[in-house]
């Protein structure tokens, strides 16, 4: 192995190791915030028995997450050190020498193989941990069907997109990344527009919210804010979990708001309208479009950097692929699949930085949407809704600030309540 290939190899190992240790350190910081007694800042939010249950849930989940992380880390390091990825590439070449078929076989086996290996962990998480704490509603039949549907979708959509990208890579020379960027941008926009219409129905049933007091209240608020709302759907989230949620999706005439049936069961009409007001706030302030634009720009950056590593004239491509041979004697054949796999690992530090920026922006947008809902509807109702959502899901309400910085796309509950309190105080002052 050349010195450059060996440098890439050790750099990949270092990146994976640092990432693993960083995650374990962040999880440890969260444990320092756990308490057997109900903290005073949570009085009025959690009841003592519910709080103790939430602490047990967090401890069980973190322990299980630690086991999965250690297993995944050990498996990845073993594959890298032994040259497992290059061995698989050689094995696939005994079936075909077509670059597109090779990529499909390579990533297909890795994807399905890793999914199968993780199935026992997923079963334990769903049918033991989530069941123990009263969340699981998934049947084994639903679990199996979800897996089969996921694999089929991955084969059709993922396989089709991968085939097109490899063909562009082979056909377009060093500027392949510009065409791929256009293809992925088109795909992202299509998913934003049609995900709820085409993908969600394969897994969940969506029905229009029936006429009644709730629909009247939502439509009245939407009209007051100038939000043209035609599609309010209820999704059968209780099919899998008792946890509740709501989300906004789509653009233009394709926009829709989706409420989980579990959300409707647990909240009052005013709380539900406050939640919907928050989602409408995201749309009115163009957060959805902002997210698409940022995603497109970051994708372009990633593809440009990728072209420097695996472009046709790149002097890095052969050494990059060879780095995956590890300590073995395998000779890697420069290829799209090996190059993009190695690049993905090397790119992860930059991906982490971009993710941190996204999280900061996302948290700011959440505050803005909260403010919209508070100003245009009812800050107190939104506070009560947020409290119920957090308590019913046994959420960690005292995460360490550094963990929040790295992982939270939404501000912690206490921060959101404090922000809304300022809004309530301001309203009171104006009233006086």
Catalytic residue, candidates 89, 279, 319, 366: 279
The pLDDT of residue 426:
64
Residue 331 has pLDDT above 90, yes or no: yes
The pLDDT of residue 432:
36
Residue 428 has pLDDT above 80, yes or no: no
What residues are paired with 43 via a beta bridge? 46
CB atoms within 10 A of CB 298: 16
The pLDDT of residue 427:
59
What SS3 class is residue 232? strand
- Categorize the per-residue pLDDT at 431 as very low, low, confident or very high, splitting at 50, 70 and 90: very low
Residues 177/303, Cβ–Cβ less than 8 Å: yes
- Residue range 423-427: mean pLDDT, rounded: 71
- Residue range 46-71: mean pLDDT, rounded: 93
What residues are paired with 259 via a beta bridge? 234, 246
Known active-site residue 370? yes
**CA 88 centroid distance within chain:** 29
Residues 245/396, Cβ–Cβ less than 8 Å: no
What residues are paired with 136 via a beta bridge? 241
- Residue range 259-275: mean pLDDT, rounded: 92
Catalytic residue, candidates 130, 271, 366, 370: 370
pLDDT tens digit sequence for 341-365: 999 999 999 999 999 999 999 999 9
- Percentage above 90 pLDDT, the chain: 71
The rounded distance, in Å, linking the Cα atoms of 157 and 242 is 30
The rounded distance, in Å, linking the Cα atoms of 248 and 263 is 14
The rounded distance, in Å, linking the Cα atoms of 161 and 370 is 37
**CA 243 centroid distance within chain:** 17
Using CB atoms within 10 Å of the CB of residue 20, give its burial: 0 to 12 exposed, 13 to 18 middle, 19+ buried.
middle
The rounded distance, in Å, linking the Cα atoms of 212 and 199 is 28
pLDDT tens digit sequence for 280-323: 899 889 888 898 899 999 999 999 999 999 887 788 999 999 99
Q: Report pTM.
A: 0.89
The pLDDT of residue 217:
92
Residues in the chain: 432
The pLDDT of residue 73:
96
pLDDT tens digit sequence for 197-226: 889 999 999 999 888 999 999 889 988 888
- The residue extents of the domains of the chain are 3-174+314-431
* Host H or E run for residue 70: helix 48-82
The pLDDT of residue 148:
94
Residue 429 has pLDDT above 70, yes or no: no
Please tell me what DSSP assigns to residue 202: G
- Which is nearest to 58 in space by CA: 133, 137, 138, 121? 133
- Residue range 114-123: mean pLDDT, rounded: 95
The rounded distance, in Å, linking the Cα atoms of 227 and 222 is 5
- Which is nearest to 240 in space by CA: 83, 112, 122? 122
- Which is nearest to 317 in space by CA: 335, 292, 303, 302? 335
């Amino acid at each position: 192995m050349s010195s450059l290939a060996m440098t890439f190899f050790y750099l990949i190992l270092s990146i994976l190791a640092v990432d693993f240790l960083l995650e374990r350190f962040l999880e440890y910081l969260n444990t320092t915030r756990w308490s057997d007694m109900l903290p005073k800042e949570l009085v009025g939010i959690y009841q003592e028995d519910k709080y103790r249950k939430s602490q047990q849930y967090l401890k069980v989940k973190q322990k299980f997450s630690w086991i999965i992380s250690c297993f995944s880390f050990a498996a990845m390091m073993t594959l890298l050190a032994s040259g497992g990825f290059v061995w698989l590439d050689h094995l696939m070449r005994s079936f075909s020498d077509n670059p597109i078929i090779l990529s499909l076989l390579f990533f297909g086996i890795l994807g399905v193989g890793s999914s199968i290996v993780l199935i026992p962990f997923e079963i334990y998480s769903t049918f033991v941990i989530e069941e123990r704490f009263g969340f699981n509603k998934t049947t084994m039949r639903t679990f199996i069907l979800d897996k089969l549907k996921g694999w089929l979708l991955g084969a059709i959509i993922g396989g089709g997109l991968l085939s097109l990208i490899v063909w562009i890579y082979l056909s377009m020379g060093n500027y392949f990344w510009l065409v791929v960027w256009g293809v992925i941008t088109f795909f992202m926009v299509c998913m934003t527009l049609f995900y709820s219409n085409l993908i969600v129905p394969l897994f969940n049933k969506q029905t229009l919210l029936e006429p009644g007091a709730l629909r009247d209240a939502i439509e009245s608020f939407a009209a007051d804010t100038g939000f043209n709302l035609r599609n309010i759907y209820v999704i059968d989230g209780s099919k899998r979990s008792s946890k509740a949620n709501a989300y906004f999706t789509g653009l233009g005439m394709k926009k829709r708001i989706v409420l989980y049936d579990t959300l409707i069961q647990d909240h009052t009409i005013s709380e539900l309208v406050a939640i919907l007001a928050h989602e409408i706030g995201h749309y009115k302030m163009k957060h959805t479009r902002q997210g698409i634009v940022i995603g497109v720009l970051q994708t372009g950056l990633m593809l440009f950097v990728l072209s420097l590593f695996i472009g046709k004239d790149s002097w890095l491509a052969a050494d990059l692929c060879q780095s995956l041979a590890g300590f073995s004697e395998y000779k890697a054949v420069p290829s799209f699949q090996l190059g993009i796999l190695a690049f993905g690992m090397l790119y992860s530090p930059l991906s982490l930085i971009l993710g941190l920026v996204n999280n900061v922006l996302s948290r700011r947008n959440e505050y803005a949407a909260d403010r919209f809902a508070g100003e245009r509807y009812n800050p107190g109702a939104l506070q009560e809704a947020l409290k119920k959502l957090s308590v019913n899901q046994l959420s960690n309400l005292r995460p360490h600030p550094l963990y929040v910085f790295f992982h939270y796309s939404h501000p912690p509950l206490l921060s959101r309540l404090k922000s809304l309190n300022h809004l309530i105080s301001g309203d009171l002052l104006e009233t006086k």
